[in-house]
């Protein structure tokens, strides 16, 4: 399930991509399939080991084109182990709401992004996220949990202040908002068979939708995304410096 829309955020074969805070690796895997040279970075060692296993399995299965590469590594988003202007593309999806120094993370992403490079930032959308916070303290009052809710203008302002130029926005995953509302209402910590019946039933619907991609739910989600999309997505570029400034 991708939050970044690669029709709005195109990759070229050979692009060097950083998936920052990659988690389980969903965007990194897609970039690898598209022929990029991918670095998936996260602070969670266990998730990085799993991402590395999947990269190896994809290579063995021939899922990535010739020239594509993939590396999974532990790292700190506030102190990236890369030289300036190392990447053509940076993706940070559902990460910034967890980090106290979000301006510091943006500064690091801008530092490692090449002039003319592209960045995709996704965060939970204000409205649906506000409902989750209202329904459950446990949803956000946990170690490593969400520490802020972004309004769209606030996030766009911080992206501009970091020196980036936004060129597009949209919302995603409308069908997932009710799932999280149900989880928050019935107990956000209850998973699997321990989850309440409405949560289990809706989860089955989401799994069916992800696997089958039926036209009806695809159209329904497109219509609902502007209203209750769970995620807010911003695409931006790093401007080229004028020649005099660059010199």
193: confidence class by pLDDT, cuts 50, 70, 90: confident
pLDDT at 131: 97
Cα separation of 18 and 225, whole Å? 27
Query: Is residue 217 over pLDDT 80?
Result: yes
Q: CA-CA distances (angstroms) from residue 150 to 38, 96, 206?
A: 28, 9, 25
Q: How do residues 34-79 score in pLDDT, each as one tens digit?
A: 999 999 999 999 999 999 999 999 999 999 999 999 999 999 999 9
Q: How do residues 118-145 score in pLDDT, each as one tens digit?
A: 999 999 999 999 999 999 998 888 877 8
Cα separation of 237 and 174, whole Å? 26
End-to-end CA distance of the chain: give it in Å, rounded.
43
Secondary structure of the chain: what % helix, strand, coil (to 5)? 45, 20, 35
233: confidence class by pLDDT, cuts 50, 70, 90: very high
DSSP state of 188: T
Query: Is residue 246 over pLDDT 80?
Result: no
Distance of CA 138 to the CA centre of its chain: 22
């Amino acid at each position: 399930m991708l939050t970044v829309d690669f029709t709005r955020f195109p990759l070229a074969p050979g692009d060097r991509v950083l998936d920052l805070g990659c988690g389980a690796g969903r965007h990194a895997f897609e970039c690898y399939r598209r022929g990029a040279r991918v670095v998936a970075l996260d602070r969670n060692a266990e998730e990085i080991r799993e991402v590395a296993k999947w990269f190896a399995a994809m290579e063995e299965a021939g899922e990535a084109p010739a020239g594509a590469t993939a590396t999974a590594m532990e790292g700190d988003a506030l102190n990236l182990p890369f030289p300036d202007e190392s990447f053509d593309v940076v993706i940070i999806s559902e990460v910034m709401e967890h980090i106290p120094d979000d301006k510091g993370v943006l500064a690091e992403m801008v530092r490692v992004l090449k002039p003319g490079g592209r960045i995709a930032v996704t965060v939970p959308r204000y409205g649906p996220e506000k409902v989750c916070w209202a329904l459950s303290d446990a949803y956000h009052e946990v170690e490593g949990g969400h520490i802020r809710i972004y309004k769209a203008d606030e996030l766009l302002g911080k992206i501009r202040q970091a020196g980036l130029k936004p060129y597009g926005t949209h919302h995603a995953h409308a069908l997932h908002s009710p799932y999280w509302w149900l989880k928050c209402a019935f107990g956000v910590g209850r998973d699997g068979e321990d989850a309440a019946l409405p949560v289990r039933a809706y989860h089955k619907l989401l799994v069916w939708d992800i696997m089958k991609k039926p036209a009806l739910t695809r159209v329904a989600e497109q219509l609902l995304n502007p209203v209750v999309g769970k995620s807010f997505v911003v695409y931006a570029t790093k401007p080229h410096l004028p020649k005099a400034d660059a010199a």
